Amino acid sequence: MSGLLALLDDVAGIAKVAAASVDDVTGMAKVAAASVDDVAGQAAKAGAKAAGAVIDDAAVTPKYMHGFSAAREVPIVLKIARGSLFNKLVILLPIALVLSAFAPWLITPLLMLGGSYLCFEGAEKIWHVFSHRRVNEPHLAVTGEGAAGLEEERVRGAIKTDFILSAEIMTIALSAIPNGDAIWMKAVILAVVAVGITVAVYGFVALIVKADDFGLHLHESGGPLAGLGRGIVHVMPGFMKVLTIVGTAAMIWVGGQIVIHGLHGLGQHQPYDWIHGAAMAAGQAIPAAPGFAAWITTAFFDGIFGLLWGMVLIPVVHYAINPAIGAVKGVLGRG
């Protein structure tokens, strides 16, 4: 009888241990689920902050497909997308983690440098439009190697352009992650942002470059959708122009916002304080939509600042920075 009682007692003990293990597993599952939710939420927030660079990336890339057959368009997009992922995950993500761990004070100046680049690029595009100058883009020139050489040249040019925009995207994303997060959490969030933005941008680009072919296919097939096909073919050139304008405006707005917030963080509180005051006044003046009024006012003045700052940088880049870079390349080339 005592042996049976001892056996039952052992079984009860094992059951308690099993129950405790189940509780531990449940707790770990809850922690894991919370971590997944936290990563998803922070990645979404970080990706949203990088919207300006993302829009410009989507607006810039389709031009690299000009002159190629329809059959090569999607493969070229895939090559650029792979290069973009390499830029973000293999080069930029480790650099971002090292900065976060050992030199977090560099993040704001780097953000401001990237924001200044966005302002310069956007302002230069506007300057070329009004001065009727053609933008010189050597990576879009025809090479002597035939179609294969031209394709590789275009892909390399697109990946170089993507590297600059990807660096800005990753830096903005890093700045949106709380400093207290563990290094592995930052790595996961940045990886999610990198993959998510790359898939979104180049998936969108693939849809854009194939839209004409899809519309033409519907038109030639006849039937009730032929009119839709004609409409797509006619709308796409205008859509591409609108996308370019939106991308340029987003570059200037986001670049100006980054520089203004950077100055504020470094102790120079103008023009941040003035714009913030104007936004609050606009919100009070329009009580029906105070949040929207404050946002649109802030975006407007951020954009004006970004445009002016970009215009200031145009002669600096062309008459000081570019010649200096050329001189250094010449010295290195002779060495």
pLDDT tens, position by position, 276-294: 999 999 999 998 888 899 9
pLDDT tens, position by position, 46-105: 556 566 566 666 666 776 766 677 777 888 888 999 999 999 999 999 998 898 888 888
Whether 273 contacts 260, CB under 8 Å: no
Helix axes 146-175, 93-102, angle to 10 degrees: 30
* Residue 321 to residue 128: CA distance in whole angstroms: 19
Whether 90 contacts 194, CB under 8 Å: no
| pLDDT of 29 strictly over 50 | no
* Residue 224 to residue 218: CA distance in whole angstroms: 9
Average pLDDT, integer, range 115-133: 85
Average pLDDT, integer, range 208-237: 81
Instruction: Report pTM.
Output: 0.72
Most confident of the following: 11-20, 32-41, 71-80, 295-304: 295-304
* Residue 310 to residue 95: CA distance in whole angstroms: 27
Token readout for 259 is: 């520089």
- The string over 45-71, giving b where at least 16 C-beta atoms fall within 10 Å of a residue's C-beta and e elsewhere, is ebbebbebbbbbbbbbbbebbeebeee
pLDDT at 37: 54
- Give the closest residue to 313 by CA, choosing from 125, 124, 133: 124
3-class secondary structure per residue, 194-256: HHHHHHHHHHHHHHHHHHHHHHHHHHHHCCCCHHHHHHHHHHHHHHHHHHHHHHHHHHHHHHH
Q: Is 4 helix (H, G, I), strand (E, B) or coil?
A: helix
Of residues 58 and 236, more confidently modeled: 236
How distant, in Å, are the alpha carbons of 163, 203, 242, 248, 314 from that of 91? 9, 22, 33, 26, 29
In the chain, domain spans: 39-234
Rg (CA), the chain: 26
pLDDT at 325: 83
Token readout for 96 is: 């971002």
* Residue 269 to residue 260: CA distance in whole angstroms: 8
* Residue 192 to residue 318: CA distance in whole angstroms: 37
